[in-house]
A and B are shown apart, each in its own frame.
Chain A
Amino acid sequence: MEKTMQGQGKKFWIVVGLCVMVAVFLGTAVFSFGAEKKPIKIGFIAPSTGNWAQNGMDMADGFRVYLEEINYTVADRKIELIVEDEGESPATAVTKLRKLINQDKVDLVAGIWATNSAYALAPQCEAAKVPLVITLSAGDDLTQRKRSPYLARVTFTGCQLGHVAGDYAYSKLGWRKVVTVAMDYAWGWESVGAFQRLFEEMGGKVIQKTWTPVTTMDFGPYVSSLNKDADGVFEVVTGAASIRFLKVMKESGMMDKWKVLAPGTAVDETLLPGIGDNGIGVYSVFPWSWALNLPANEQFKEKVRKSIKREATGTMAMNYTGAEWIVRAIKAVGGEVENKEKFMQAVRSLEIKDSPRGALKLDPYGHVIDDIYIRRVEKVGGILQNSIVEKYPQVSQFWKYDPETYMKSPVYARDYPPCKFCQ
């Protein structure tokens, strides 16, 4: 009797086990069955937790505003947007990318905030042959030495903004000696590197380069050790840290002494309320500003107001144009995103003349050529904004250098260009 009961028990569990396996298999198989015309799945990676959380939300919001405009439909296919959290570090992004590619089986990936996340994700997208259209993150080399036919970027890079900053600092601000304070990761390295190279080629000197960990909470020690001999400071401190940094700069009296120049992400419209009056007078370099006086921009701002009941920010603008770019490319291939080579070709050959940022097109290496603006934080009508001060039209990621020659030297890094004049 015992034996039979044991035998029964065993059989029962074997059957249960088999059922579970079959259920798992069927369940996931069923989910991949599509309807008539399968929706186009876009995987969107943006931070929703951590230091960059608000930026990530702006990214997703900006992207969605455009998709709403076209009712999430293009070329008779529905667009399904799957947003995943990039987290605070590339590691989370890598995990989520794996899910998007392998479980959700997305047709393309967009978004990405952090430069180091982009560097981590790009090779994985390339290995899986999934198109990646970066709608915010920088990372010079992704469209230079490490370029890939599967990657395009419609926003900005450290070198693109850094070169412009270097030129402006020397020729318009009249600086000759500069100190730099930047976050110690690829975005900081590349922005400062580009700035330093052009600034020094024009005759200026960078006399001190300070790198701060991304998670720095207290900028006090860094600010107070800045070399007072300089004419100005070029800083690359982004996200919530920018609020803290500018506060310390103001409190220590440095803001009264010097002008501050930074890439626009330091004074993104979303941060301005938090920065408050500490930010007045800060110069920044960016492909857009809320205060930009273009008809397309006014329309864009109005759409944002209607859709999410907030004022447009730089991050939103970048992702809005990114979404537009992707959708127009999809339209150009008649909705056939499955043909990835054709799709990427369409992405590369697209041009938008009337974006909220001005005219846009991609260079042969996959990065955008667009108008870059110099802005200054001012209080207009009681509200802080980035007023446009100067425009650099149709700037390439290579500035005015020849691309092939440019790429022979190493990518801007912590120690490149070397700090010849550092004291």
Chain B
Amino acid sequence: MSDRLQSRKWVFFALFLGGALLVLSPPFLPTYVVILFAQSLTYAIAAMSLDLLIGYTGLGALGHIAYFAIGAYTTAIFASKYQASFAGTTFFSIVLAAGASALLGPLALRAAGVYFLMITLAIAMCIWGLAFRWVSVTGGDNGITGINRPDLGLPWPMNDAVYFYYFVFACFLICLILLFLIIRSPFGKTLVGIRDSESRMKVLGYNVWVHKYLAYIVAGAFAGFGGCLYAYFNGFVSPNDANLGHCMELVLMVTIGGPGTLVGATLGAFIIVFLKNMVSVYTKRWLMVLAAVYVVSALYAPDGMTGLFKRLQTRRGTPGGEND
């Protein structure tokens, strides 16, 4: 009994430390680090939504970045061409991303296992191709520039890195809480049941397909919102944001952090964003470093950092061993 309390205390403490870092440190950190923090959080929202699928429902949706990209483009177009407000861009980003996932979900869910992986990846490539060639809407390879930071009517300028970061953090917190509530709800518990054994859930009378479909749509909506924030962050959106590299990176964020623990996805997002941006300062071969991360984490840490952490714990705290 006390090890569980013990390990839970560690978890809470780690969360507390992480949260403190995210909330308190930005005004004291170098600008560039704060900028990377903000970028990590936009991806973290998308990564968490993907974790809902991979970690909690057992759906390996490799192409999830497509909905992030749809959200990003929607915001980009509405903000730059129509000067839409934040409320407007958020609304449309989420609606369009959710709509796309509602439309494409049935297509993807016709398959299972590795076929599902392939098909979601192929769908993501379709979205990329669309962004690339539908030049009149998306600007094609030129992307969309001139996305100004949202005017929220607050006294703090959004162009400042620290203020913008806190804005993104607030949005992230809302998403985290919402997703946490979803996971704790009966719906969320059903998803976990589906992940563990689909056949059992079917036998028990649950409509597995509908649950998967709803999870897919919900995940798409959150990813779209992440994309919306990303567009504001980056000031620029291009087909690159939905390419194969980004597809797999989003998955890597989930797996390296630890699937099935929302926080793991957030941690993974931070790790990957910082890795990509910082490593290139020290070596030109940063792609190889990223490659090593893919391979090593898949081989030795399939449950990600949080899984590693848990394993280290159980190794230390053998039942009845460490208490006095």
Contact = CB atoms under 8 A, between A and B. Distances in A.
Interface of A: 1-2, 6, 10, 13-14, 17, 21, 24-25, 28-29, 85, 89-92, 94-95, 98-99, 102-103, 116, 119-120, 123-124, 127, 184-186, 213-214, 414
A91 B143 contact: yes
Interface of B: 2, 6, 9, 13, 17, 20-21, 25, 28-33, 35, 132-133, 135-136, 140-143, 145-146, 159, 161, 234-236, 238-241, 277, 280-281, 323-324
Contact of A90 (B6, B20, B32, B142): B142
B238 A89 contact: yes
Contacts of B135: 184, 414
B238 A124 contact: no
A98 B35 contact: yes
A102 B21 contact: no
B142 A185 contact: yes
A102 B17 contact: no
A116 B141 contact: yes
A90 B143 contact: yes
Contacts of A10: 13
Given A102-B35, A124-B235, A2 B323 contact: yes
Interface of B, helix, strand, loop or mixed by DSSP: helix
7 contacts: A89-B141, A89-B238, A116-B141, A116-B142, A127-B159, A184-B141, A414-B136
B145 A120 contact: yes
A13 B17 contact: yes
Nearest to A139: B142
B241 A213 contact: no
A124 B161 CA distance: 13
A123 B146 contact: yes
Given A91-B236, A123-B146, A28 B141 contact: no
Given A2-B323, A186-B142, A25 B28 contact: yes
A28 B33 contact: yes
Contacts of A2: 2, 323-324
Contact of A119 (B25, B133, B145): B145
A24 B17 contact: no
Contacts of B28: 21, 25
Nearest to A14: B17
Nearest to A114: B141
A184 B277 contact: no
B191 to A, nearest CB: 33
Contact of A213 (B132, B143, B146, B234): B132
Contacts of A184: 135, 140-141
B83 to A, nearest CB: 15
Given A94-B236, A119-B142, 13 more contacts: A85-B280, A89-B143, A89-B239, A94-B235, A95-B277, A98-B32, A99-B281, A102-B31, A102-B35, A103-B32, A116-B141, A120-B236, A186-B142
A102 B28 CA distance: 15
Contacts of B31: 102-103
A298 B142 CA distance: 37
B142 A123 contact: no
Contacts of A124: 235-236
A2 B6 CA distance: 10
Contact of A1 (B33, B141, B324): B324
A185 B236 CA distance: 16
A346 B174 CA distance: 50
List the 4 shortest-distance A-B pairs measured between CB atoms, nearest first.
A103-B32, A91-B240, A116-B142, A28-B30
Q: Which one of A25, A90, A186, A214 has the highest number of Cβ atoms from chain B below 10 Å of its Cβ? A: A90
A89 B238 CA distance: 8
Contacts of B9: 6
A91 B242 CA distance: 11
B141 A185 contact: yes
A25 to B, nearest CB: 6
A13 B35 contact: no
A127 B240 CA distance: 23
A211 B323 CA distance: 73
Contacts of A6: 6, 9
Contacts of B234: 94
A213 B140 CA distance: 9
